[in-house]
Amino acid sequence: MSNLKTHCIFGGIYNNYISLEALLEKASKEGADTFFCLGDIGGFGPHPDRVFPFIKDKEDVFVMQGNYDHSIGNRLDDCACGYVDPKDQAFAQISYDYTLQNTSDVNKDWLRDLPTNYRFNWGGKNILMAHGSPRRTNEFLWESTCSDTFISYLLTKNECDILFVTHTGIPWIRRLDDGRMLVNVGVIGRPPNDGSFDVDYILVHEDEKGLSVEAKRLSYDYERLAKEMEDENLPDEFVETVRTGWWTTCLEVLPSKERDIGPF
Amino acid sequence: MVEINFDHFKNNAKERAALPSPFLPFEHLDTLWLQVTGTVCNLACLHCFISCGPKNDSHPVMSKTQIFDALEEADTHGVKEVYFTGGEPFMHDDIKEIILRTLEIAPLNILTNGILIDDEMATWLGRTFRKSKYSLDIRVSMDGITAEENDAIRGRKTYGKIICGILRLWEAGINPVITVTTCHDELGEAEGRVRFIEMLKSRGISKPRLKFLSPFKIGREEHRGGGYEVHEILKEGDLMEDESFDLQCSSCRMVTAKGAFPCPILIEVEEARMGDGLSDSLDGILLDHPACYTCHVEGVTCRT
């Protein structure tokens, strides 16, 4: 059976142009025709402007605005990431100030004008892509804190069969009994707090039978990223995450099940 | 960060008195609160905004049927998560059964003082947490780093018992969220927060989780710390852009044995009662109670 089309969906670049470059190359070899980034181009990593040549003015790359992009694009004071804990907010602010300072005006303007969602019909299925959730850009949709009945509500309310989101940094997929799905595609900017160095993305295959969703992992030169972060004097805590695969910051927002997995 | 001009409330109190209260639309039932043990509690904390205690049954313990009916109704409305509070939820005779039933439907948060969590219960909770598809979060209330600080609010000799409950949960594989009401002002500051984390780490809890809440100046807290001043009331135009999402009452309802209420704070306010059951309460509300002021200016959210 041959694929009619393959789409690559990913989120949270977090300035990690190294993993982005690796993703575009790997997913292309896997047959991806189009690429969809669900937002949050900046934050966490080094050299914000190095991301843009890979995603701007590309016919096959579609980029959506996340909360980070909205804030950077509009030159706001903080990232509006949705953290409520002061320690989380403090680390988020370090990333944000660095990214704001090191993003060119022309790229800021580009981020400001990005769309906030995408809708398609693929293989007879209504597809909706949003950053955090369709109702709030910075809403965290975690696997352990989304009931089936809530997901059903979200899908019905937004008239879609498959909803793709990011924002939490941890990928997960829930298929309801009626076949509808919520897919959190994870991020490519940092590992998903599972002790590995790899990052996550999704391939969606359209073929004669319909649609299939495939969760994928990407290896990239994380040591190069870590070194560049050190050279830019980004916090040691961020670098440690890249080198260990465990989150050291912004942990307070994790629900108990997701927090339980990591050592911090 | 949101900047609030506190002087505006005070200096314009007279002019503001004539203004209508802000109306908050109801967005969706994200959160169902259940007052599972009503106002019946094994403690009588001095800051309790609904004056719970061993002798207060103004809201009686909910029957299993009442709880299951509310859960089923919430399920039909697409509820995202459920919270148990009281009173002390672990005083409920059927607590295990209602925990299991709830976790079949949605993630669950339980607000407790931790004192009744013995080894057997902690082990059972740990096992349930690991087996459940959804998150089970236990929030243990504690109001001081020392026995002196805590017991001044929560009662004599409660500090050690609460610590024991926390440690039992931790050893059973549950990392509880320690919820601190900032009756001692310094606990709400960064330094107090660090001291709290250090205390928990010194007890062996390597990944402390903390949530700080401002006191609501109603119920028993009104007698301890003083009530609201006349100007501490919200008026039309006070809410900021996007604030409605942050105010939990735009997406939660509380069900007790006596009916449905907009939030966990106002169950002792008769005028706040919205009807007999959940379906009667899924409408917008006026933010016309002084406690609403606290949620606005302090950015309080009852969410874990």
pLDDT in tens, B48-102: 999 999 999 999 999 999 999 999 999 999 999 999 999 999 999 999 999 999 9
**DSSP notation for B143-212:** --SSHHHHHHHH-TTHHHHHHHHHHHHHHTT--PEEEEETTSGGGGSHHHHHHHHHHHHHTT-SS-EEEE
pLDDT for residue B212: 87
pLDDT for residue B3: 58
> What is the rounded CA–CA span in Å between residue B237 and residue A206?
50
pLDDT at B156 over 60: yes
> What is the rounded CA–CA span in Å between residue A219 and residue A18?
10
3-class SS of residue A110: helix
Between positions 190 and 219 of B, the ones with CB within 8 A of A are 190, 193, 206-207, 209-210
Tell me the nearest-neighbour CA distance from B297 into chain A, angstroms.
15
Average pLDDT of the residues of chain B: 93
pLDDT for residue A89: 84
ipTM: 0.93
Residue A236's pLDDT band (cuts 50, 70, 90): very high
| Domain total in chain A | 1
Residue A206's pLDDT band (cuts 50, 70, 90): very high
Hey, what domains does chain B have and what are their CATH numbers?
6-42+54-298 (3.20.20.70)
Mean pLDDT of A185-192: 98
Q: Do A259 and B137 touch (CB under 8 A)?
A: no
pLDDT at B1 over 60: no
Q: Do B30 and A147 touch (CB under 8 A)?
A: no
Residue A62's pLDDT band (cuts 50, 70, 90): very high
Q: Given phi > 0 = left and psi -120 to 50 = alpha, else beta, which region is A69?
A: alpha
- Judged by a CB distance cut-off of 8 A, whether residue B245 touches chain A is yes
- Judged by a CB distance cut-off of 8 A, whether residue A54 touches chain B is no
Q: Domain of A91? A: 3-261
Closest CB to A147: pick one of B76, B105, B245.
B105
Closest CB to B106: pick one of A136, A142, A147.
A147
Q: Residue holding tokens 């579609």?
A: A62
3-class SS of residue B72: helix
CA nearest B201 in A: which residue?
A264
> What is the rounded CA–CA span in Å between residue A219 and residue A208?
31
Query: What's the DSSP call for residue B295?
Result: H
Phi, psi of B78 (to 5 degrees): 75, 35
> What is the rounded CA–CA span in Å between residue B71 and residue B101?
9
Say which CATH number the domain at A40 has: 3.60.21.10
Phi, psi of B140 (to 5 degrees): -105, 125
Global pTM exceeds 0.90: yes
Closest CB to B135: pick one of A86, A153, A257.
A257
3-class SS of residue A214: strand
